């Protein structure tokens, strides 16, 4: 059971196992043209696992669906970023193992990777958890961690998906020898689904803006109130500036920008509805020079 690319890599790792069925979320309209498109998991399965039945239930309030899942007589139910809560009726069919992209009990919920980056964590990881009826509260079967310093969400997603694929197979092969460990609920933290408006930033704090840039790459990206998007930036320092938004220095393909606290190097930029430009090309087009205000 899974939906996005994170789940696809885990599914790829299970090719060669006896996969009985795949459950994923239903097709959704995406893009400006609102084209009805399958989930990443469904798209992969349609092209690579044509013999495996695919189910896209809106919910589990269907006794017929539960009967069908039971009929497969699964040894395990593997779950990765499925996006739906499993009812007790499903949890009782077979051990349900969830691959969650955080070091639980930190960041239970929908955006663990982005939350770890936003908070400046140096490490993240994946936990294989024996699911119960509560959100990401199951006993930990095994976990693995990795360094995430300086990486954006896309890079961390890829790293953790690869680790999750390996971890999943290790847990399945050694399930009977593992000793589940209860989570310490007093240390739990929670995160919610990322929305487009979360990408709105101000020039108050360069370090916080940069962490948002890392956390929200590739989506939703970061943008100022006027719609100007920062596509590629670097954090320089935490020096205080009297006037935020001031162009501090011009470089070959970039420029330094003052925040109230801190300095950023702006390398690529995009106005709303227009193409991405090298920062200096953008400044030249706007006839902006050193010590002018960007916005």
d(CA 45, CA 242): 56
- What is the pLDDT, as a whole number, of residue 262? 98
Name 143's bridge partners.
127
Burial of residue 257, with CB atoms counted within 10 A of its CB: 0-12 exposed, 13-18 middle, 19 or more buried: buried
In CATH, what class is 196-286? alpha beta
| pLDDT, mean of residues 30-44 | 93
**pLDDT band at residue 118 using 50, 70 and 90 as cut-offs:** very high
DSSP string, 201-263: --SSBHHHHHHHHHHTTTTT-EE-TTS-EEEEEEEEEEEE-SSTTBEEEE-SS-EEEE-SEEE
Residue 195 confidence (pLDDT) above 90: yes
- What is the pLDDT, as a whole number, of residue 83? 87
| pLDDT, mean of residues 93-110 | 98
Q: What is the CB-side half-sphere exposure of residue 3 using CA atoms within 13 A?
A: 13
Contact 22, 56 (CB under 8 A): no
**pLDDT band at residue 103 using 50, 70 and 90 as cut-offs:** very high
**pLDDT band at residue 52 using 50, 70 and 90 as cut-offs:** very high
The tokens for 91 are: 């949890």
Burial of residue 129, with CB atoms counted within 10 A of its CB: 0-12 exposed, 13-18 middle, 19 or more buried: buried
Q: Residues 65-77: pLDDT tens digits?
A: 999 999 999 999 9
d(CA 91, CA 132): 7
| pLDDT, mean of residues 102-129 | 98
Q: Residues 227-273: pLDDT tens digits?
A: 999 999 999 999 999 999 999 999 999 999 999 999 999 999 999 99
pLDDT above 70 as % of the chain: 100
- What is the pLDDT, as a whole number, of residue 209? 98
Least confident stretch, 60-64, 66-70, 90-94:
60-64
The tokens for 253 are: 């393909």
- What is the pLDDT, as a whole number, of residue 25? 95
Residue 31 confidence (pLDDT) above 90: no
Contact 227, 272 (CB under 8 A): yes
Q: Which CATH architecture has domain 5-191?
A: 3-Layer(aba) Sandwich (3.40)
SS3 90: helix
- What is the pLDDT, as a whole number, of residue 84? 87
Contact 267, 242 (CB under 8 A): no
In the predicted model, what is the mean pLDDT of the chain? 96
| pLDDT, mean of residues 71-90 | 95
SS3 265: strand
The tokens for 154 are: 């896309």
Radius of gyration of the chain from Cα atoms? Answer: 22
Residue 99 confidence (pLDDT) above 90: yes
Contact 77, 90 (CB under 8 A): yes
d(CA 45, CA 47): 5
Residue 202 confidence (pLDDT) above 90: yes
- Give the start-to-end residue ranges of the domains of the chain: 5-191, 196-286
- What is the pLDDT, as a whole number, of residue 62? 85
């Amino acid at each position: 059971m899974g939906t996005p690319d994170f789940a696809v890599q885990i599914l790829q790792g299970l090719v060669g196992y006896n996969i009985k069925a795949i459950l994923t979320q239903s097709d959704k309209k995406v893009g400006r043209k609102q084209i009805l498109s399958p989930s990443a998991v469904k798209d992969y399965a349609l092209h690579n696992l044509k013999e495996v039945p695919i189910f896209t239930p809106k919910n589990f309030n269907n006794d017929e669906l539960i009967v069908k899942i039971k009929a497969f007589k699964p040894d395990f139910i593997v779950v990765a970023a499925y996006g739906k809560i499993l009812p007790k009726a499903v949890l009782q069919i077979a051990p349900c193992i969830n691959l969650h992209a955080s070091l639980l009990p930190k960041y239970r919920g929908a955006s663990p990777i982005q939350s770890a980056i936003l908070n400046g964590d140096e490490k993240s990881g994946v936990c294989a958890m024996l699911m119960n009826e509560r959100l990401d509260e199951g006993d930990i079967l095994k976990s693995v961690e990795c360094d995430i310093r300086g990486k954006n969400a896309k890079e961390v997603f890829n790293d953790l998906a690869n680790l999750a694929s390996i971890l999943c197979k290790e847990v399945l092969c050694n399930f009977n020898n593992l000793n589940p460990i209860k989570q310490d609920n007093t240390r739990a933290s929670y995160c919610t689904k990322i929305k487009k408006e979360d990408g709105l930033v101000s020039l108050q704090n360069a370090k916080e803006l940069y962490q948002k840039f890392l956390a929200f790459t590739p989506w939703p990206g970061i943008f100022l109130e006027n719609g100007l998007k920062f596509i590629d930036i670097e954090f320089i320092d935490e020096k205080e500036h009297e006037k935020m938004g001031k162009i501090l220095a011009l470089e070959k393909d970039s420029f330094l920008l003052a925040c109230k606290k801190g300095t950023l190097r702006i390398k690529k930029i995009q106005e709303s509805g227009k193409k991405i430009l090298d920062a200096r090309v953008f400044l030249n087009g706007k006839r902006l020079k050193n010590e002018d205000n960007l916005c």
